[in-house]
Structure 1
Amino acid sequence: MTDGTVRITDNEAPRLRRFELAPVKGVWRHEIALFKRYWRSASFASMFEPTFMMLAFGYGFGSLVAVVGGFRYRDFVGTGMVGTAALFTSVFPGMFNGYIRRVYQHTYDAMLAAPVDTHELVTGEALWIASKSALYSCSPMVVAMFFGLDPALGMVLVPLITFVTALGFALFGMWASAVVPSINSFDYVITGVVTPLFLIAGTFFPVDTLPGWVEVVARLNPLFHCVELVRHAVFGLEPLADLGHLAALGLFAALMWIIAVRAMRRRLIA
Structure 2
Amino acid sequence: MSAQAAERLKRFEPAAVRGIWRHELALYKRYWRSQSFASMVEPTFFLLAFGYGFGSMVAAVGDYRYLDFVATGVVGTAALFTSVFPGMFNGYIRRVFQHTYDAMLAAPVDVHELVTGEALWIAAKSSVYSCTPLVVALFFGLDPAPGMLLVPFIAFVTALGFGLFGMWTSSVVPSINSFDYVITGVVTPLFLVAGTFFPVGTLPEWAEKAALLNPLFHCVELVRHAVFGLRPLADLGHLGALVLFAALMWLIAVSGMRKRLID
TM-score normalised over the length of structure 1: 0.94
Partner of 1:10: none
Q: Displacement, 1:180?
A: 0.2
Partner of 1:254: 247
**Does 2:184 match 1:202?**
no
**Does 2:44 match 1:71?**
no
Q: Displacement, 1:220?
A: 1.2
Matches within 5 A, 1:93-242: 93-242=86-235
Q: Displacement, 1:182?
A: 0.2
SS of match in other structure, 2:212? helix
Cα deviation 1:196-225 (Å, max 9, x = unaligned): 000000000110110011111111100000
Find runs of 4+ consecutive structure 1 residues off by over 6 angstroms. Answer: none
Cα deviation 1:105-135 (Å, max 9, x = unaligned): 0000000000000000000000000000000
Q: Distance in 2 between matches of 1:116 and 1:147?
A: 47
Partner of 1:44: 37
Q: Displacement, 1:69?
A: 2.4
Amino acid at match of 1:42: Q
Q: Distance in 2 between matches of 1:33 and 1:102?
A: 18
SS of match in other structure, 2:144? coil
Cα deviation 1:87-108 (Å, max 9, x = unaligned): 0000000000000000000000
SS of match in other structure, 1:191? helix
Q: Displacement, 1:21?
A: 1.3
Structure 1 vs Structure 2 CA RMSD: 0.9
Partner of 1:245: 238
Q: Distance in 2 between matches of 1:59 and 1:135?
A: 24
Q: Distance in 1 between matches of 2:30 and 2:196?
A: 33
Q: 1:99–1:183: 8 Å Cα contact kept in structure 2?
A: yes
Cα deviation 1:7-55 (Å, max 9, x = unaligned): xxxxxxx683322211000000000000000000000000101111111
Q: 1:172–1:256: 8 Å Cα contact kept in structure 2?
A: yes
Q: Distance in 2 between matches of 1:51 and 1:125?
A: 26
Any gaps of 5 or more consecutive residues in structure 2? none
Cα deviation 1:228-260 (Å, max 9, x = unaligned): 000000000000000110000000000000000
Q: Identity rate of aligned residues, in percent?
A: 80
Q: 1:69–1:206: 8 Å Cα contact kept in structure 2?
A: no
Q: Which protein has the larger Cα radius of gyration, Structure 1 or Structure 2?
A: 1
Amino acid at match of 2:146: L
TM-score normalised over the length of structure 2: 0.97
Amino acid at match of 2:116: T
Count of matched residue pairs = 258
**Does 2:6 match 1:21?**
no
Amino acid at match of 2:83: S
SS of match in other structure, 1:74? helix
